[in-house]
Structure 1
């Protein structure tokens, strides 16, 4: 079947595939959790990678590319092969989002897997095995958490907004906006933080520069199907599977809250 003829039902088949693979990878990672896995550092010593990250990546890559050999592949833990750009459909994977939390024995880490078609996510799964939580969505469908539909919180005018952002960021907001928000304590997994917006536990989050496709693609879709959006400071949606996979400052929230959050966030941009 050509890509042009793909339907929502076809993407749902891919959703089931990535869900099964994400759960398998998560169970593999759990085998290393709180057992002092070997850790090395990459990106000039700024980013840790554990043997659990690599083992989960192997599970995902083996299962997914065996099932869809025509798809491209983009993963945080695989050397980038730019031939992916020529593929209309790619897997975008973070084997463990929240590696620092994983290494520290904290439960807030997850496996993030998306199918991206022509630059947009069409199926996405976020699996947090230590929390026994599985988020999923397919383009045109509902966002689910452990099988139940989720949605963003619709804050009423005048209500306090619960925002995940760095203290130094919130400190830059103008007082008229800063006084309407309460900062949520640090959430070590960016993907999970976006999922918390999707299921209404928090109202929004700001994402500093230098997030990557693999941090975002799966929960971008989950958030969208839950009634929210992840956008840049021009209120434009993200495009994935480009030659560069790094993004600028981003905002995520229920759609009615985005204009105010974006306006407040412009202070993060260089003048």
Structure 2
């Protein structure tokens, strides 16, 4: 995984900050010719090494055959395509390996900062070979969170959140990597996400002693026919209970109204 992620990252660096062909996938956001090139490269390297595994990628047409494979590569060739297009160094190459629905290994690479996050079952979490650990913080007041700042507006919640330091990052995989490294205490991502956004990061956070679930508190399950995940909470083990008890009662994303889970109460 590491070698494939680094090779893919090197390919993106050649085009970072330059004009590339891009088009819209509608609600799924932009895609570029480099996304597709990286997808091809990763599939060649990963499936070439393990041809008996299944494959799920944001940029490959889904094949139901993966549902019958015990082990599956779940890949986002460029997670944070918008950042890549805008010249913001917050996109990543995300590779996850799942076995029977469970994330067992991950590699997340930020090519522009040369940060390689690795971790999984039997593989200690590390960035560039340095061991990492999720935050040990237990107090929610003053915690550093990754999320959309508007999510935490008091009028959106029957029980307002305490004072928090909230920042955002473009790539979902990068957010999870930063939780694994203890750079932030937790991340909250409401609404449907995709397995390729989360699989690699989920394995790394778990290896770093953190917890990642859906916002309902349900464990993450991968390689499903519906590749969507119903929101994500990621945190150090000590802080996770204080966050999940606040969000697990939110409506399931399939039941959201046209203005979101709070019917637009958070709009300016």
Q: What's the TM-score, normalizing by structure 2?
A: 0.89
**How far apart, in 2, do the equivalents of 1:247 and 1:105 lie?**
28
Residue 184 (structure 2) pairs with residue 212 (structure 1): no
Q: Which residue of 2 aligns with 1:236?
A: 218
Q: Pairwise mapping of residues 77-226 of structure 1 onto structure 2 (< 5 A)?
A: 77-157=59-139, 160-171=142-153, 172-173=156-157, 178-184=161-167, 186-226=168-208
List gaps (5 residues or longer) in structure 2.
262-268
* C-alpha contact 1:173 1:265 (8 A) present in aligned 2: no
1:202-254 Cα offsets, whole Å, 9 max, x none, are 11111121210100000101001111111123423201001011011221101
In 2, Cα distance between equivalents of 1:233 and 1:55: 33
Is 1:31 paired with 2:14? yes
In structure 2, how many angstroms separate the alpha carbons of the residues matched to 1:202 and 1:168? 18
Shift of residue 266, structure 1, vs aligned partner: 4.0
CA distance in 2, matches of 1:230, 1:158: 17
Could you tell me which runs of 5 or more consecutive residues in structure 1 were left unpaired when the two chains were aligned: 1-17
CA distance in 1, matches of 2:73, 2:248: 32
Runs of 4+ off more than 6 Å: none
State the 1:159 CA deviation.
5.4
CA contact (8 A) 2:216 2:249 kept: no
1:55-89 deviation digits (Å, cap 9, x = unpaired): 11111011111111111100000000011000111
2:23 match: 40
Residue 58 (structure 1) aligned to one of 40, 46, 51? 40
Distance 1:180 1:225 in 2: 29
**Structure number having the greater helix percentage:** 1
Contact 2:120 2:206 in 1 (8 A): no
Whether the aligned pair in 1 keeps the contact of 2:217 and 2:248 (CA below 8 Å) is: no
C-alpha distance 77-26 of structure 1, shift in aligned 2 (>3 A): same
For 1:64 and 1:45, the matched residues in 2 are separated by 28
Q: What RMSD in Å do the two structures reach over aligned CA positions?
A: 1.7
Distance in structure 1 (CA, Å) of the matches to 2:61 and 2:121: 28
SS in 1 for 2:239: helix
